[in-house]
Amino acid sequence: MIELVQPLLNGDRRALARVLTGVENQQAGDVLAAVYPHTGRAHIIGVTGAPGTGKSTLVAALAGGYRAQHKTVGILAVDPTSPFSGGAVLGDRIRMQSLAGDKGVFIRSMASRGSLGGLASAALDAIRVLDAAGMDVVIVETVGAGQSEVDIARAAHTTLVVEAPGLGDEIQAIKAGLLEIADVLVVNKADRPGAENAVRALRMMLDIGHPVERHHGRFIAASPVSVAEPPPMWIPPVIATVASKGEGIDELLVAISDHHRFLVDHHMLGRLEQEQIEVEICERLRNVLVDRLLESLPQGALMEVVRQVQARQVTPQRAVEVLLGQGHI
Protein backbone atom coordinates (compact mmCIF):
# COMPACT_ATOMS: atom_id res chain seq x y z
CA MET A 1 0.00 0.00 0.00
CA ILE A 2 3.02 2.25 0.42
CA GLU A 3 2.67 3.46 -3.19
CA LEU A 4 -0.55 5.19 -2.11
CA VAL A 5 1.21 7.52 0.32
CA GLN A 6 2.13 10.28 -2.13
CA PRO A 7 -1.21 10.31 -3.97
CA LEU A 8 -2.96 10.37 -0.58
CA LEU A 9 -0.93 13.35 0.59
CA ASN A 10 -1.82 15.05 -2.70
CA GLY A 11 -5.48 14.53 -1.86
CA ASP A 12 -6.16 11.86 -4.50
CA ARG A 13 -9.63 10.51 -3.75
CA ARG A 14 -9.05 6.98 -5.01
CA ALA A 15 -5.90 6.65 -2.93
CA LEU A 16 -7.83 8.00 0.05
CA ALA A 17 -10.62 5.46 -0.42
CA ARG A 18 -8.17 2.59 -0.74
CA VAL A 19 -6.16 3.59 2.30
CA LEU A 20 -9.34 3.87 4.36
CA THR A 21 -10.27 0.33 3.32
CA GLY A 22 -6.79 -0.73 4.40
CA VAL A 23 -7.34 0.97 7.74
CA GLU A 24 -10.61 -0.89 8.25
CA ASN A 25 -8.87 -4.18 7.51
CA GLN A 26 -5.93 -3.26 9.73
CA GLN A 27 -3.55 -3.48 6.78
CA ALA A 28 -2.43 0.12 6.55
CA GLY A 29 0.24 0.25 9.25
CA ASP A 30 3.02 1.28 6.87
CA VAL A 31 0.90 3.99 5.23
CA LEU A 32 -0.18 5.32 8.63
CA ALA A 33 3.44 5.56 9.71
CA ALA A 34 4.41 7.39 6.53
CA VAL A 35 1.58 9.93 6.66
CA TYR A 36 1.58 10.50 10.41
CA PRO A 37 4.00 13.47 10.28
CA HIS A 38 1.49 15.15 7.94
CA THR A 39 -1.37 14.97 10.43
CA GLY A 40 -2.45 17.39 13.13
CA ARG A 41 -3.75 20.12 10.81
CA ALA A 42 -7.47 19.45 10.54
CA HIS A 43 -10.08 20.73 12.94
CA ILE A 44 -11.72 17.52 14.15
CA ILE A 45 -15.37 17.82 15.07
CA GLY A 46 -17.21 14.97 16.78
CA VAL A 47 -20.98 14.72 16.45
CA THR A 48 -22.78 12.34 18.74
CA GLY A 49 -26.21 11.84 20.27
CA ALA A 50 -29.08 9.40 20.49
CA PRO A 51 -30.24 7.55 17.34
CA GLY A 52 -32.43 9.57 15.00
CA THR A 53 -31.77 13.00 16.48
CA GLY A 54 -30.69 14.22 13.04
CA LYS A 55 -26.92 13.92 13.30
CA SER A 56 -26.33 12.95 9.67
CA THR A 57 -28.63 15.70 8.42
CA LEU A 58 -26.80 18.14 10.65
CA VAL A 59 -23.39 16.92 9.48
CA ALA A 60 -24.46 17.42 5.86
CA ALA A 61 -25.66 20.95 6.66
CA LEU A 62 -22.42 21.76 8.50
CA ALA A 63 -20.36 20.40 5.62
CA GLY A 64 -22.34 22.65 3.27
CA GLY A 65 -21.48 25.60 5.51
CA TYR A 66 -17.78 24.77 5.46
CA ARG A 67 -17.85 24.35 1.70
CA ALA A 68 -19.30 27.86 1.43
CA GLN A 69 -16.17 28.96 3.34
CA HIS A 70 -14.09 27.05 0.75
CA LYS A 71 -12.91 24.54 3.34
CA THR A 72 -12.51 20.88 2.44
CA VAL A 73 -14.47 18.44 4.58
CA GLY A 74 -13.93 14.79 5.45
CA ILE A 75 -16.89 13.00 6.99
CA LEU A 76 -16.64 9.75 8.90
CA ALA A 77 -19.89 8.12 9.99
CA VAL A 78 -19.17 5.43 12.57
CA ASP A 79 -21.88 2.95 13.42
CA PRO A 80 -20.93 0.65 16.26
CA THR A 81 -24.41 -0.86 16.40
CA SER A 82 -24.46 -2.68 13.10
CA PRO A 83 -21.96 -5.32 12.04
CA PHE A 84 -22.61 -4.49 8.38
CA SER A 85 -22.24 -1.08 6.86
CA GLY A 86 -25.34 -1.57 4.69
CA GLY A 87 -28.17 0.22 6.46
CA ALA A 88 -26.23 3.05 7.98
CA VAL A 89 -24.35 3.84 4.81
CA LEU A 90 -27.50 3.89 2.73
CA GLY A 91 -29.25 6.19 5.16
CA ASP A 92 -26.31 8.55 5.35
CA ARG A 93 -25.92 8.63 1.59
CA ILE A 94 -29.51 9.82 1.29
CA ARG A 95 -29.09 12.36 4.10
CA MET A 96 -25.89 13.67 2.56
CA GLN A 97 -27.08 13.69 -1.05
CA SER A 98 -26.69 17.46 -1.27
CA LEU A 99 -22.94 16.94 -1.05
CA ALA A 100 -22.74 14.38 -3.85
CA GLY A 101 -20.37 15.30 -6.64
CA ASP A 102 -18.54 17.91 -4.56
CA LYS A 103 -14.83 17.14 -4.85
CA GLY A 104 -14.19 19.10 -1.64
CA VAL A 105 -16.12 16.60 0.44
CA PHE A 106 -15.22 13.01 1.18
CA ILE A 107 -17.71 10.78 2.98
CA ARG A 108 -16.93 7.42 4.49
CA SER A 109 -18.92 5.08 6.73
CA MET A 110 -17.40 2.58 9.09
CA ALA A 111 -19.28 -0.18 10.83
CA SER A 112 -18.33 -2.49 13.63
CA ARG A 113 -16.50 -5.63 12.60
CA GLY A 114 -16.67 -7.65 15.74
CA SER A 115 -14.66 -5.82 18.33
CA LEU A 116 -15.70 -2.36 19.48
CA GLY A 117 -12.18 -1.52 20.61
CA GLY A 118 -11.04 -2.30 17.07
CA LEU A 119 -13.62 0.08 15.66
CA ALA A 120 -12.52 2.93 17.90
CA SER A 121 -8.87 2.58 16.95
CA ALA A 122 -9.72 2.15 13.26
CA ALA A 123 -11.81 5.32 13.47
CA LEU A 124 -8.89 7.23 15.00
CA ASP A 125 -6.66 6.01 12.17
CA ALA A 126 -9.27 7.00 9.57
CA ILE A 127 -9.47 10.51 11.04
CA ARG A 128 -5.69 10.81 10.64
CA VAL A 129 -5.84 9.60 7.06
CA LEU A 130 -8.47 12.23 6.20
CA ASP A 131 -6.35 14.83 7.98
CA ALA A 132 -3.23 13.80 6.03
CA ALA A 133 -5.21 13.97 2.77
CA GLY A 134 -5.58 17.68 3.45
CA MET A 135 -9.12 17.95 4.78
CA ASP A 136 -9.48 21.26 6.62
CA VAL A 137 -12.31 19.89 8.72
CA VAL A 138 -12.98 16.28 9.68
CA ILE A 139 -16.44 15.57 11.04
CA VAL A 140 -16.99 12.27 12.84
CA GLU A 141 -20.55 11.11 13.48
CA THR A 142 -21.17 8.40 16.06
CA VAL A 143 -24.39 7.12 17.57
CA GLY A 144 -23.97 7.99 21.21
CA ALA A 145 -24.66 4.98 23.35
CA GLY A 146 -21.58 3.21 24.57
CA GLN A 147 -17.97 3.59 25.54
CA SER A 148 -16.51 3.31 22.05
CA GLU A 149 -18.56 6.30 20.85
CA VAL A 150 -17.33 8.32 23.77
CA ASP A 151 -13.78 7.19 22.94
CA ILE A 152 -14.22 8.34 19.36
CA ALA A 153 -15.83 11.61 20.42
CA ARG A 154 -12.84 12.17 22.70
CA ALA A 155 -10.59 12.22 19.66
CA ALA A 156 -12.29 15.41 18.51
CA HIS A 157 -11.21 18.95 19.27
CA THR A 158 -14.82 20.06 19.42
CA THR A 159 -17.61 17.68 20.37
CA LEU A 160 -21.24 18.36 19.49
CA VAL A 161 -23.92 16.49 21.40
CA VAL A 162 -27.18 16.45 19.48
CA GLU A 163 -30.57 16.33 21.18
CA ALA A 164 -34.03 16.34 19.70
CA PRO A 165 -37.30 17.10 21.44
CA GLY A 166 -40.10 14.59 21.58
CA LEU A 167 -38.06 11.41 21.62
CA GLY A 168 -39.85 10.30 24.75
CA ASP A 169 -37.33 11.83 27.08
CA GLU A 170 -36.75 15.54 27.26
CA ILE A 171 -33.03 15.46 27.80
CA GLN A 172 -31.53 12.30 26.47
CA ALA A 173 -27.89 13.34 26.65
CA ILE A 174 -27.93 13.53 30.40
CA LYS A 175 -29.31 10.05 30.61
CA ALA A 176 -26.66 8.76 28.27
CA GLY A 177 -23.97 10.56 30.24
CA LEU A 178 -23.01 12.56 27.18
CA LEU A 179 -23.33 16.01 28.66
CA GLU A 180 -19.83 15.95 30.14
CA ILE A 181 -18.22 15.51 26.76
CA ALA A 182 -20.22 18.26 25.00
CA ASP A 183 -18.44 21.41 23.87
CA VAL A 184 -21.55 22.53 22.02
CA LEU A 185 -25.07 21.27 22.67
CA VAL A 186 -27.43 21.16 19.74
CA VAL A 187 -31.18 20.92 20.07
CA ASN A 188 -32.05 19.79 16.57
CA LYS A 189 -35.60 19.43 15.21
CA ALA A 190 -36.37 22.80 16.72
CA ASP A 191 -39.43 22.80 14.46
CA ARG A 192 -40.93 20.17 16.75
CA PRO A 193 -42.90 20.90 19.92
CA GLY A 194 -40.87 20.87 23.11
CA ALA A 195 -37.71 22.32 21.57
CA GLU A 196 -37.82 25.50 23.62
CA ASN A 197 -38.23 23.51 26.80
CA ALA A 198 -35.28 21.32 25.89
CA VAL A 199 -33.09 24.37 25.22
CA ARG A 200 -34.14 25.97 28.49
CA ALA A 201 -33.62 22.77 30.50
CA LEU A 202 -30.17 22.23 29.04
CA ARG A 203 -29.13 25.82 29.71
CA MET A 204 -30.31 25.47 33.28
CA MET A 205 -28.33 22.26 33.73
CA LEU A 206 -25.23 23.96 32.38
CA ASP A 207 -25.68 26.99 34.63
CA ILE A 208 -25.92 24.74 37.66
CA GLY A 209 -22.76 22.97 36.58
CA HIS A 210 -20.87 26.21 35.89
CA PRO A 211 -21.15 28.92 38.56
CA VAL A 212 -20.59 31.90 36.32
CA GLU A 213 -22.56 34.78 34.92
CA ARG A 214 -23.57 34.73 31.33
CA HIS A 215 -23.53 37.82 29.16
CA HIS A 216 -24.89 37.55 25.67
CA GLY A 217 -23.24 34.23 25.06
CA ARG A 218 -19.91 35.40 26.49
CA PHE A 219 -18.94 34.58 30.01
CA ILE A 220 -16.95 35.90 32.92
CA ALA A 221 -15.83 34.22 36.11
CA ALA A 222 -18.11 34.80 39.10
CA SER A 223 -15.26 36.14 41.23
CA PRO A 224 -13.00 38.13 38.91
CA VAL A 225 -10.81 39.46 41.74
CA SER A 226 -9.37 36.13 42.84
CA VAL A 227 -5.65 36.02 43.60
CA ALA A 228 -4.81 32.92 41.63
CA GLU A 229 -6.10 33.12 38.07
CA PRO A 230 -8.64 30.29 37.70
CA PRO A 231 -8.19 28.11 34.64
CA PRO A 232 -10.26 29.41 31.73
CA MET A 233 -13.60 27.69 31.46
CA TRP A 234 -15.63 27.00 28.37
CA ILE A 235 -19.35 26.85 28.90
CA PRO A 236 -21.05 24.81 26.19
CA PRO A 237 -23.52 26.98 24.30
CA VAL A 238 -26.92 25.49 23.48
CA ILE A 239 -27.90 26.01 19.84
CA ALA A 240 -31.30 25.25 18.36
CA THR A 241 -31.29 23.99 14.77
CA VAL A 242 -33.59 22.65 12.09
CA ALA A 243 -30.96 20.71 10.19
CA SER A 244 -33.37 19.60 7.48
CA LYS A 245 -34.03 23.26 6.58
CA GLY A 246 -30.57 24.62 7.31
CA GLU A 247 -31.85 26.78 10.15
CA GLY A 248 -29.45 27.60 12.97
CA ILE A 249 -26.49 26.22 11.04
CA ASP A 250 -24.73 29.59 10.80
CA GLU A 251 -25.01 30.02 14.58
CA LEU A 252 -23.71 26.50 15.05
CA LEU A 253 -20.73 27.18 12.77
CA VAL A 254 -19.94 30.28 14.83
CA ALA A 255 -20.20 28.31 18.10
CA ILE A 256 -17.84 25.65 16.74
CA SER A 257 -15.32 28.21 15.56
CA ASP A 258 -15.61 30.08 18.89
CA HIS A 259 -14.73 26.87 20.67
CA HIS A 260 -11.75 26.25 18.42
CA ARG A 261 -10.58 29.83 18.98
CA PHE A 262 -10.98 29.36 22.74
CA LEU A 263 -8.72 26.29 22.61
CA VAL A 264 -6.13 28.13 20.54
CA ASP A 265 -6.24 31.37 22.57
CA HIS A 266 -5.77 29.54 25.86
CA HIS A 267 -3.09 27.20 24.52
CA MET A 268 -5.33 24.26 25.23
CA LEU A 269 -5.12 22.53 21.88
CA GLY A 270 -1.71 21.07 22.67
CA ARG A 271 -2.77 19.92 26.10
CA LEU A 272 -5.94 18.37 24.72
CA GLU A 273 -3.94 16.49 22.11
CA GLN A 274 -1.46 15.33 24.72
CA GLU A 275 -4.27 13.86 26.83
CA GLN A 276 -5.85 12.22 23.81
CA ILE A 277 -2.58 10.61 22.75
CA GLU A 278 -1.98 9.31 26.27
CA VAL A 279 -5.45 7.77 26.43
CA GLU A 280 -5.03 6.24 22.98
CA ILE A 281 -1.63 4.72 23.70
CA CYS A 282 -2.85 3.22 26.99
CA GLU A 283 -5.92 1.82 25.26
CA ARG A 284 -3.86 0.28 22.46
CA LEU A 285 -1.38 -1.06 24.99
CA ARG A 286 -4.20 -2.62 27.00
CA ASN A 287 -5.58 -4.36 23.91
CA VAL A 288 -2.19 -5.72 22.88
CA LEU A 289 -1.34 -6.94 26.38
CA VAL A 290 -4.68 -8.69 26.81
CA ASP A 291 -4.37 -10.39 23.41
CA ARG A 292 -0.82 -11.50 24.15
CA LEU A 293 -1.69 -12.89 27.53
CA LEU A 294 -4.72 -14.77 26.24
CA GLU A 295 -2.69 -16.27 23.39
CA SER A 296 0.02 -17.43 25.79
CA LEU A 297 -2.36 -19.32 28.08
CA PRO A 298 -2.39 -23.12 28.11
CA GLN A 299 -5.24 -24.65 26.13
CA GLY A 300 -8.54 -24.40 28.00
CA ALA A 301 -7.13 -22.30 30.86
CA LEU A 302 -9.57 -19.44 30.33
CA MET A 303 -12.58 -21.76 30.18
CA GLU A 304 -11.41 -23.50 33.33
CA VAL A 305 -11.35 -20.31 35.39
CA VAL A 306 -14.68 -19.26 33.87
CA ARG A 307 -16.08 -22.54 35.12
CA GLN A 308 -14.56 -22.08 38.58
CA VAL A 309 -15.90 -18.54 38.87
CA GLN A 310 -19.35 -19.65 37.78
CA ALA A 311 -19.23 -22.49 40.32
CA ARG A 312 -18.44 -19.87 43.01
CA GLN A 313 -15.15 -21.59 43.78
CA VAL A 314 -13.05 -18.52 43.03
CA THR A 315 -13.78 -14.83 42.59
CA PRO A 316 -13.28 -13.05 39.26
CA GLN A 317 -10.45 -11.11 40.92
CA ARG A 318 -8.69 -14.35 41.84
CA ALA A 319 -9.30 -15.68 38.32
CA VAL A 320 -7.34 -12.74 36.92
CA GLU A 321 -4.43 -13.52 39.24
CA VAL A 322 -4.52 -17.18 38.20
CA LEU A 323 -4.44 -16.28 34.51
CA LEU A 324 -1.61 -13.79 35.03
CA GLY A 325 0.32 -16.58 36.72
CA GLN A 326 -0.34 -19.11 33.96
CA GLY A 327 0.39 -16.96 30.96
CA HIS A 328 3.05 -14.44 30.07
CA ILE A 329 3.02 -11.12 28.33
Ligand X SMILES: Nc1nc2c(ncn2[C@@H]2O[C@H](COP(=O)(O)OP(=O)(O)OP(=O)(O)O)[C@@H](O)[C@H]2O)c(=O)[nH]1
Please report, as ranges, the residues that interact with ligand X according to CB under 6 A. Answer: 51-57, 91, 95, 143, 188-189, 191-192, 242-244
Q: How far is the CB of 248 from ligand X (least distance, A)?
A: 9
**Among residues 202 and 242, whose Cβ is nearest to ligand X?**
242
**Among residues 191 and 280, whose Cβ is nearest to ligand X?**
191
Select the residue whose beta carbon is closest to ligand X and give its number: 54
Q: How far is the CB of 98 from ligand X (least distance, A)?
A: 12
- Out of Mg ion, ligand X, none, what residue 51 binds, judged by CB under 5 to 8 A for its kind, is ligand X
- For 140-189, the DSSP string reads EEEESSSHHHHHHHHT-SEEEEEE-TTSSSS-HHHHTT-GGG-SEEEE--
- Out of ligand X, Mg ion, none, what residue 242 binds, judged by CB under 5 to 8 A for its kind, is ligand X
**Among residues 19 and 59, whose Cβ is nearest to Mg ion?**
59
Residue type at position 140? V
Across-strand partners of 130? none
Three-state DSSP class for residue 136:
coil
Select the residue whose beta carbon is closest to Mg ion and give its number: 56
Q: How far is the CB of 222 from Mg ion (least distance, A)?
A: 39
**Which residues are at the interface with Mg ion (CB under 5 A)?**
55-56
Q: How far is the CB of 318 from ligand X (least distance, A)?
A: 41
**Among residues 57 and 158, whose Cβ is nearest to ligand X?**
57
Contacts of 74 (CB under 8 A, 6+ apart): 42, 105, 106, 108, 127, 130, 131, 133, 135, 137, 138, 139
Phi-psi map region of 216: left, alpha, beta (phi>0 left; psi -120 to 50 alpha) = left
Q: How far is the CB of 261 from ligand X (least distance, A)?
A: 27
Q: How far is the CB of 114 from Mg ion (least distance, A)?
A: 21
Residue among 274, 259, 279 at smallest CA distance from 43: 259
**Among residues 22 and 144, whose Cβ is nearest to ligand X?**
144
What are the helix and strand counts (H, E) for the chain? 13, 9
CB count, 10 Å around CB of 67?
17
- Out of ligand X, Mg ion, none, what residue 48 binds, judged by CB under 5 to 8 A for its kind, is none
